[in-house]
Amino acid sequence: MAWSGTPYVLVIIRLAAAAKRTLVEVTQGMRRVLAGWIAAAVALAVGQLVAAGVGRDSAPFYAVGSAVVDRTPSGVREWVISNFGTDDKAFLFACLAVLVAVLSALAGTVERNGRPIGSAIIAAFAIFGAVTAMSRPTSTGAFVWPSLLGGVVGVVVLRLLLGYRPVAGVIDSGDPELSRRRFFAAAGILAAASAGAYALGRKLVDRSAELAADRRTLRLPVPQSPAPPIPPDVNVRGAVPYVTDNGDFYRIDTALQVPQMTTGEWRLKIHGMVDRPRTITWNDLVSMAAVQRAVTLTCVSNEVGGDLIGNAVWTGIPIKPILDSVGVQPGANMLLSRSVDGWTAGTPISTLIDGRDAILAVAMNGQPLPTEHGYPVRQVVPGLYGYVSATKWVTDWEITSFDKATAYWTDRGWSALGPIKTGCRIDSPSSGARVGGGTQVIAGTAWAQHRGIKTVEVQIDGGAWQTANLAPEYSIDTWRQWWLPWQAGKGTHTIVARATDGTGVTQTSETADPVPDGASGYPKKVVRVDA
Ligand X SMILES: Nc1nc2c(c(=O)[nH]1)N[C@H]1C(S)=C(S)[C@@H](COP(=O)(O)O)O[C@H]1N2
Point out which residues bind ligand X (CB under 6 A). 249-255, 297, 299, 339, 343, 373, 386-387, 390-393
Query: CB-wise, 206 or 307, nearer to ligand X?
Result: 307
Exposure string for 29-58, b = 16+ CB within 10 A, e = fewer:
eebbbbbbbbbbbbbbbbbbbbbbebbbbb
Residue with the shortest CB distance to ligand X: 386
Q: Other CB atoms closer than 10 Å to residue 22's CB: what's the count?
A: 10
Q: Which does 371 bind (CB under 5 to 8 A by kind): ligand X, Mo ion, none?
A: none
CB 511 within 8 A of CB 521: yes
- Beta strands 524-530; 491-501: pairing state: antiparallel
CB of 481 to Mo ion, least distance (A): 23
Query: CB-wise, 107 or 390, nearer to ligand X?
Result: 390
Query: CB-wise, 139 or 347, nearer to ligand X?
Result: 347
Query: CB-wise, 109 or 520, nearer to Mo ion?
Result: 520
**Contacts with Mo ion, 285-304, as mask; x by CB under 5 A:** --------------x-----
Query: CB-wise, 164 or 393, nearer to ligand X?
Result: 393
- d(CA 520, CA 381) in angstroms, rounded, equals 21
Whose CA is closest to 352, among 395, 387, 383? 383
The radius of gyration computed from the CA coordinates of the chain, to the nearest angstrom, equals: 30
- d(CA 71, CA 137) in angstroms, rounded, equals 15
Q: What is the DSSP string of 137-178?
A: TT--GGGGHHHHHHHHHHHHHHHHHTTS-SS--SS-----PP
Of 63, 155, 252, 361, the one binding Mo ion by CB under 5 A? 252
How many residues form the binding site for Mo ion (CB under 5 A)? 4
Q: Which does 112 bind (CB under 5 to 8 A by kind): Mo ion, ligand X, none?
A: none
Q: Which does 197 bind (CB under 5 to 8 A by kind): Mo ion, ligand X, none?
A: none
429: preceding bond cis by omega (within 30 degrees):
yes
Q: Which does 474 bind (CB under 5 to 8 A by kind): Mo ion, ligand X, none?
A: none
Per residue, the 3-state secondary structure of 333-351, as one string, reads: CEEEEEECCCCEEEEECHH
CB of 517 to Mo ion, least distance (A): 12
| 211 touches Mo ion by CB under 5 A | no
CB of 340 to ligand X, least distance (A): 8
**What number of CA atoms fall less than 13 Å from residue 274's CA on the CB side?**
21
CB of 299 to ligand X, least distance (A): 3
| 250 touches Mo ion by CB under 5 A | no
CB of 412 to ligand X, least distance (A): 11
Site for Mo ion in 378-417 (CB under 5 A): 386-387
Segments in 318-448 forming alpha helices (H):
319-326, 350-353
- d(CA 477, CA 418) in angstroms, rounded, equals 15
Chain residues in the site for Mo ion (CB under 5 A): 252, 299, 386-387
